[in-house]
């Protein structure tokens, strides 16, 4: 949780996922999508500079957690990839990439988070509106076939994104007969 406090005492608090893997560093990385009219995200993009101090609390929540030693299907929409990136980084760092399959869904190449770091044998990118010219999958909404290819026996699915995206993916997983009790969802709606 990041809390900003104005000079007059007004405060605004928002949740952000940790993108860095667990480790011995004191540093944490967050990735913030800039919303045009967003109070906190715009401030973090446009006003905050290196050296500024932010009030941070957490991490909070013990549900959307992957411990790094079981098969995991990670499905992220837009900035919903952020907590999944922590898991992918952990898998790569510990030499257990074989356990992880990550599917990132974004509208177009310019909106792809971690574009340099993401590609690898364990990751798939689905472009929904505009794909690079060389891409073999035509642009279109994430579908059953995209997930069928990456299903692994005994995996837990971690689904993260907007509420609409999360509902869409859990619907696809249900149609693929993915066990409901093995699905974990994190929704990036406005912080209440
Ligand atoms: C558990 C959790 C984890 C999150 N992790 C991340 C993260 O890692 N990175 C990240 O960028 N965001 C994340 N979010 C979303 C984040 O908390 C804020 O909601 C977001 O940054 C918008 O805040 P704001 O103050 O800029 O917008 P506000 O001023 O609160 O809202 C501005 C406008 O945008 C709409 N809006 C608010 N939030 C969203 C949203 N998430 N998507 C689309 N429209 C929205 C509002 O309805 C309003 O119309 C997370 C949310 C939750 C609940």
pLDDT per position as a tens digit, 136-167: 999 999 999 999 999 999 999 999 999 999 99
Q: How far is the CA of 6 from the centre of ligand 1 (A)?
A: 19
Quote the pLDDT of residue 25. Answer: 83
What's the burial of 59, exposed, middle or buried (CB within 10 Å: 0-12/13-18/19+)?
A: middle
| Closest atom, ligand 1, to C-alpha of 42 | 26
- Only one residue has tokens 């993915």, namely 178
Quote the pLDDT of residue 192. Answer: 47
- Only one residue has tokens 């004191």, namely 26
Domains of the chain: 72-187 (3.40.50.80)
| Closest atom, ligand 1, to C-alpha of 189 | 41
Is it the case that residue 132 has pLDDT exceeding 50?
yes
What's the pTM?
A: 0.94
Mind listing the pLDDT tens digit for each residue in 38-64? 999 999 999 999 999 999 999 888 889
- Find the residues whose C-beta lies inside 6 A of ligand 1: 14-17, 30-33, 35, 37-42, 79, 82, 162, 186, 188-191
Mind listing the pLDDT tens digit for each residue in 9-33? 999 999 999 999 998 788 999 999 9
Average pLDDT, integer, range 92-103: 97
Please name the residue whose Cα sits nearest to atom 34 of ligand 1.
Answer: 38
């Amino acid at each position: 949780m990041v809390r900003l406090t104005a000079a007059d005492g007004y405060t605004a608090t928002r949740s952000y996922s940790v993108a860095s893997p667990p480790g011995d560093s004191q540093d944490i990385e967050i990735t913030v999508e800039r919303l045009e009219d967003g109070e906190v995200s715009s401030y973090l993009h446009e006003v905050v500079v290196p050296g500024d101090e932010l009030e941070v609390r957490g991490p909070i929540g013990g549900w959307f957690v992957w411990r790094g030693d079981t098969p995991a299907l990670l499905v992220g929409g837009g900035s919903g990839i952020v907590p999944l990136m922590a898991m992918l980084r952990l898998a790569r760092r510990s030499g257990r990439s074989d356990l992880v399959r990550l599917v990132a869904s974004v509208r177009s190449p310019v909106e792809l988070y971690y574009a340099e770091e993401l590609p690898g044998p364990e990751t798939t990118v689905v472009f929904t509106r505009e794909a690079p010219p060389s891409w073999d999958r035509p642009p279109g909404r994430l579908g059953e076939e995209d997930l069928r290819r990456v299903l692994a026996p005994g995996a837990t699915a971690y689904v993260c994104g907007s509420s609409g995206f999360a509902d869409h993916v859990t619907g696809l997983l249900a149609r693929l007969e993915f066990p409901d009790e093995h699905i974990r969802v994190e929704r990036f709606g406005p912080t209440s």
